[in-house]
Structures are given as structure tokens and as C-alpha cells.
Amino acid sequence: MHGGATHFPIALLMVSVIFDHAGFWWRNEVRRREFCAVGFYSLFIAAVAGPVAVVSGIALSKGTLIGSGMLALHHYFVWPAFGLLIGLAVWRLVVRERASRRASGCYLALASLTLGVMMTAGYWGGEMIIGK
Amino acid sequence: MKLSLQLKGIILGIVAGLAAIGIAFAAAEMFQPKPAAASGATEALVIPPAGTPANQGYKLFMLNCAHCHGADARGDEGPDLHGVTKSDQRIVTIIQNGIKGEMPKFSAKLNDTETRALVAFIRTLKEE
């Protein structure tokens, strides 16, 4: 179940970051709002799917929080990524489209970092079960 | 003092992020095996002397195998590796080709020398 559930937050966060970047840089105001709306809803669903992926992973590893070897490498990135994902989603829920340009820029930088951390966690997760 | 909307969002975001990690850590306890149901093996692995193939095998084991076979090699998702009775060649074949539906193959990840080092390490794991 973890193998299936974990791809939803990764893919949705990726979509969210791409559309938020488009919304940040696009000149047309209407398009900009539409792109940001896609980014917002993708992030929101990713944040809802995140706990499912995390709980299924915890169940798979029998409650191991760090572990050893590749599992530890996976966890070093998973926990910060999970916290950041939830934190970003809550910030977005509170602020909605009322964020200043500067705050949106900071948000984008942090969301991009979160995506990088999450993809690194995904890489180590894949290495564990697939090998190379 | 009236907080701006963005500052409220930042504070709530930080609290929610930390709470999410905290809840996940608390939930993990529910999935941890009960002490009575555990294997009973609590001893740490004896690390083979540095510079030996078995020592290299130990390092490879900790990186590639411990998350399934347990950090003490006493078994978890995968079986206990102490006192394995299979031949060296059979173990090499299993590591390289895996077991369908049970264990991934490591042929593209570990070369022949590394696989042999893993076997050397597994041979140091004696049944009590």
C-alpha cells in the first residue's frame, strides 16, 4: 500500500510547485490566478494524501522511525518533507491569495525545497525496494 | 497586539508541521512490535575486523540489507541470517537474482566482489 499511496503527495506537490511558479511569473492576471488555484488545490490534496503515505510507511516498517542503512536515509528526508508539506498547506489555507509578492516568493522557494527533499526521500525509498 | 495574516499563517504552519511529525511519531508506537512478541535477540552484531572482506560485507549489509533483515540480522521483513545453511554459491545467486515477490535483486547494484564480501559477513553470523 505504501508504494501506491506515496506517489500521490509526491506527484501533487510537483504539480503544485510547477503551477505556483507559473502563477508567480505569468504576466496575465487572470491566468496567474488560475495557475495559483491549481497550485493551491494540488498542495491541499497532497497534504491530505501525505498522512496516508506516512502511516502506510510506518506500518510497513513496523513503527521504525529512523532505522538503518537506506531506511535511515529515506527517513532523514521523509520527516522534514512531511512536516514542511503540512506546514506549507496550512500557511496556504490561512493566507489564500492574500499573500504579498515577497511572501509568495519565500513560499515558492520553501515549496521547491520541500519538493527536492521529498524527491530525495522517494529516491531512497525506491532504492530500498527496487535496487538498481 | 494584532498579528498580520501572513504571520498568523507562518505560526500556524510551523505548529501544524511539527504537530504532524509528532503525531506520526506517536502513531509509530502503535505499529512497533511488543517486547514479548519480539524475537528476544537484543545483542548487537559483532563487527568483523577492519580490512577484511567480512567487514566490507558488514558495511554493505547495513546499507542495503538491514532495513529488511534487521540491524542485528535477526530478521524482520526478511528472514534471520544467523546460521544460514545454504552454500556460498546459492547465497550469491539469491543476492544477485533476488526472490520473486520476496526480495529485490542486487545484481546491478553490487558487483561480484561486494556480493562475496556480503557472503563472508553472513558466514560470521553464527547461530547461538
B27 closest CA partner among A91, A43, A82, A87: A82
- Judge whether B79 and B69 are in contact, CB under 8 Å: yes
Q: A86 CA to chain B: closest CA distance, Å?
A: 5
Please report the pLDDT score of residue B8 as a whole number.
87
Instruction: Find which of A88, A91, A93, A123 to mutate to test the B interface (most B CBs within 10 Å of its CB).
Output: A91
**Chain A residue at shortest CA distance from B11:** A91
Q: CB-based contacts of A21: which residues, under 8 Å, 6+ apart?
A: A108, A112
Please report the pLDDT score of residue A25 as a whole number.
93
Q: How far apart are CA B103 and CA B105, in angstroms?
A: 7
Check if B76 contacts A (Cβ < 8 Å). yes
C-alpha cell at A20: 505556483
Please report the pLDDT score of residue B37 as a whole number.
47
Please report the pLDDT score of residue B34 as a whole number.
66
Please report the pLDDT score of residue A13 as a whole number.
96
Q: How far apart are CA A67 and CA A121, in angstroms?
A: 14
- The answer to whether the complex's ipTM is over 0.90 is no
Q: How far apart are CA B81 and CA B79, in angstroms?
A: 6
Query: Which of B6, B27, B109 is facing A99, going by the closest CB pair?
Result: B6
Residue A2 parent element (H or E): helix A2-5
Please report the pLDDT score of residue A34 as a whole number.
94
Please report the pLDDT score of residue A116 as a whole number.
97
Q: Which residues of chain A have pLDDT under 50?
A: 132
Please report the pLDDT score of residue B108 as a whole number.
84
- Residue A91 with chain B: CB contacts under 8 Å: 9-10, 12-13
- Judge whether A14 and A114 are in contact, CB under 8 Å: no
Query: Residue B104 and residue A129: Cβ atoms within 8 Å?
Result: yes
**Chain A residue at shortest CA distance from B15:** A87
Strands (E), B1-128: none
Angle at A129 between CA B94 and CA A82, to 5 degrees: 160
Please report the pLDDT score of residue A7 as a whole number.
93
- Judge whether A50 and B21 are in contact, CB under 8 Å: no
Residue-by-residue DSSP string for A41-76: HHHHHHHHHHHHHHHHHHHHTTT-SS-SHHHHHHHH
- Residue B28 with chain A: CB contacts under 8 Å: 58, 63-65
- Residue A67 with chain B: CB contacts under 8 Å: 66-67, 71
- Residue B62 with chain A: CB contacts under 8 Å: 68-69
A91 closest CA partner among A39, A51, A127: A39
Q: Rounded to two decimals, what is the model's pTM?
A: 0.76
Check if A102 contacts B (Cβ < 8 Å). no
- Residue A64 with chain B: CB contacts under 8 Å: 28, 32, 67
- Tens of pLDDT along chain B (128 residues)? 567 888 888 999 999 999 999 998 888 888 877 654 444 444 567 888 888 999 999 989 988 888 888 888 888 888 899 988 899 999 999 999 988 888 888 888 889 999 999 999 999 998 76
